[in-house]
Structure 1
Amino acid sequence: MKKSYISILIFLIYINIFSQNNKDFYTKEFGIISENDAYMLLGDDGYYTNGLEFYVNWKSKKNKDSLKIATFSLGQNIYNAQNGNYSKLINIDRPVTAYLYISYKQTQFTKNKEMIKWGVSIASIGPISFGKETQVFIHHLFDMYDPKKQWDFQLKNSIGINGELTWIKEIPIKDNFEIQAIAGARAGLFFDNIKLGSLIRWGKFNNNLSTSYWNTRLNAKYKNSHKEFFFYYQPSLLVYAYNATIEGGAFRKDKGPVTGKLNPLLYHQIVGIMKTWNRYALNLAINYQTKETSLQEKTQWYGTIELKYLFK
């Protein structure tokens, strides 16, 4: 009888230890982002017509209590005229190109719990970014029109580097409602701009130290901290000095057959919903953006689908 009690005690101790281990931090997160104007079901195929990004987040230090998150990503953005089926130069109302990039980013916090995000990207535009090949493959896969002709007018090749810095401050209002202030800048051979914006969240969410929205969920210690379900609205005002996907490569004289005059002021808003459970996170959003260049016939809408998975 005494042996039975000892066995039960050992079993309970083992279960307790195992449960505590399960409450440890996750150490890595894999994510994929797909963006496309077709998600809006409006029948449009421009101007930012497709985006795909794969990324991995991990703690930048071996210390489990570290609040620094590092991110490596690989992605491609494709830009068309208002309809990719155009075959004449006069119909191209936005420069045609792809933007291919790899990037390293880091997220950290100040003593006042303000978030600082910085990053650097190596990127390219032009034929070496494989926009034509990607779009032709997608259109053939889904039995859509052949987009090859417009790619005869794409921007010329250019390779370079870009840096970015973002500051974010939470302003709590209630337990289930908050506003955040956002300020950022990008500088380099592809994008030079500053951004001022805000984020409004309503629902069940973690603070910025451990929220999926900013890819800091690796800092959530216990499994029940991984549960979030909230709506969000993020408006931004951007002031541009340079955009290579509009104006062509910075150091090229022959930038391509069609370049555009940059609109220096751009408004962008995102309305979305985010849900996290266990190791997973799902983000669904609708994006609206004003004209990037005076050539454009209209503004644009596109959708975002993002899926994330935590692992040790």
Structure 2
Amino acid sequence: MKKKFFLLALCLLSGIGAYAQSRGNEIGFKSDNDSFLGQGSDRYYTNGFFLNYRHAIDGAKLKSNMANAVFGLELGQKIYNAQSGQLPSAAEVDRPFAGYLYLGASANILYKNETTVKLGARVGVVGPAAGGYAVQKLIHNTFGFYELNSWQYQVRNAPQLNLSAEVNKLLARSSWADLTFSGYVNTGTGFNAAGVGPMIRLGNFNQLFQSVSTQSTVSKNANAGLLHKNEVFFYYKPQINAVLYDATVQGNIFKDHPEPGTQEIVGDINHLVFSNQLGVAFTTSRFVFDIGAVINTREVKQMVKSTHQWGSVTVLYRFN
């Protein structure tokens, strides 16, 4: 009897272990804020919050050249200030205030040769309906920050439908470092841009088909043959961006600017923006963490500051 009980317990424990190994789903959040860098700034892209859910496609349904495929949903909001949220006059507004609220879906196809293609679509709104002022006011009131007085200078409401494509391709790898080409294209009613650049990783990283770097830490493919059980690595991603249109700066793409009878202040975008992203990513058996910083050159010609930067924290939980 004891022997049978022991075998039953062993089977149950084995089942629990197998269950723990399955990481087909992932849920979590990403938070961006310029205050994360401890500089006391509250300008330009000042806050972003995103809720994510990702689901891996069954490995048995993948084509022979595919290592992984991930479907994702995202609810996000971005908030933009001028050089401050408290300004004495419209003359001090060097970048329009704006909120951007959206719901997005994505399909991330990851190949065995470590080429990845991620396609996405987002629907949402830019302007007062995005709730940027309400959220920033709540944050300032909660933490005792200064009183906002300049949100009357935000862009007007504009519905959004935007599409995106992102490509990554491994170029070279050693045991502790690798180099990847990365590029993207955005197009739609609010955001039209493209960018390219390298991504450098140093440390214990996994292949691009199941890594923090490509938002593909979930998988139902048991034979992935990963380089490491858990990832712990530093990354650096410089990028050059060509920007054609940005609704958070220029407002509704279908209307003349500034719109008659409004206090809208419309900025003049820089069509060439350089970006530097760096950080540390690591995973456990269930959790994914990514802590980084982004530094951009001036995105609007009127900006008083030549660069702006923010910190980013991502926390995800994987489950079956």
1:198 has 2:198 as partner: yes
Aligned position for 2:313: 305
Aligned position for 2:20: 22
CA separation of 1:114/1:62 partners in 2, compared to 1, >3 Å: closer, same or farther?
closer
Identical columns (%)? 26
1:53 has 2:56 as partner: no
CA contact (8 A) 2:114 2:207 kept: no
Give the residue type in structure 2 aligned to 1:79: Y
Deviations 1:228-260 (A, max 9, x none): 111000111100111111111101235452101
Aligned position for 1:243: 246
1:218 has 2:218 as partner: yes
1:44 has 2:3 as partner: no
Q: Could you tell me how far apart the structure 1 residues matched to 2:179 and 2:142 are?
A: 42
Q: Could you tell me how far apart the structure 2 residues matched to 1:107 and 1:57 are?
A: 10
Q: Could you tell me how far apart the structure 1 residues matched to 2:227 and 2:11 are?
A: 22
CA-atom RMSD in angstroms: 2.2
Q: Could you tell me how far apart the structure 1 residues matched to 2:95 and 2:129 are?
A: 19
Q: Could you tell me how far apart the structure 1 residues matched to 2:47 and 2:19 are?
A: 41
Q: Could you tell me how far apart the structure 2 residues matched to 1:288 and 1:128 are?
A: 28
Alignment of 1:243-282 (within 5 A): 243-253=246-256, 254-255=258-259, 257-282=264-289
Q: Which stretch shows the higher mean deviation, 219-228 or 230-239?
A: 219-228
Q: Could you tell me how far apart the structure 2 residues matched to 1:64 and 1:82 are?
A: 50
Q: Which stretch shows the higher mean deviation, 263-272 or 208-217?
A: 208-217
Aligned position for 1:121: 122
Aligned position for 2:143: 142
Q: Could you tell me how far apart the structure 1 residues matched to 2:196 and 2:227 are?
A: 33
1:170 has 2:173 as partner: no
Instruction: Extract unaligned runs of 5+ from structure 2.
Output: none
1:31 has 2:19 as partner: no
Give the residue type in structure 2 aligned to 1:184: Y
Instruction: Extract unaligned runs of 5+ from structure 1.
Output: none
Q: Could you tell me how far apart the structure 1 residues matched to 2:301 and 2:311 are?
A: 23
What is the TM-score of this pair, normalised by structure 2? 0.90
CA separation of 1:172/1:150 partners in 2, compared to 1, >3 Å: closer, same or farther?
same
Deviations 1:92-115 (A, max 9, x none): 000111111110011003463310
Give the residue type in structure 2 aligned to 1:296: M
Q: Could you tell me how far apart the structure 1 residues matched to 2:13 and 2:33 are?
A: 47
What is the TM-score of this pair, normalised by structure 1? 0.92
Aligned position for 1:289: 296
Q: Could you tell me how far apart the structure 1 residues matched to 2:227 and 2:272 are?
A: 42
Aligned residues: 308
Deviation at 1:183, TM superposition (A): 1.5
CA contact (8 A) 1:247 1:260 kept: yes
CA contact (8 A) 2:205 2:232 kept: yes
CA separation of 1:7/1:121 partners in 2, compared to 1, >3 Å: closer, same or farther?
closer
Give the residue type in structure 1 aligned to 2:17: S
CA contact (8 A) 1:226 1:279 kept: no
CA separation of 1:139/1:206 partners in 2, compared to 1, >3 Å: closer, same or farther?
same
CA contact (8 A) 1:217 1:226 kept: no
Give the residue type in structure 2 aligned to 1:263: N
Deviations 1:171-190 (A, max 9, x none): 23212210110111001111
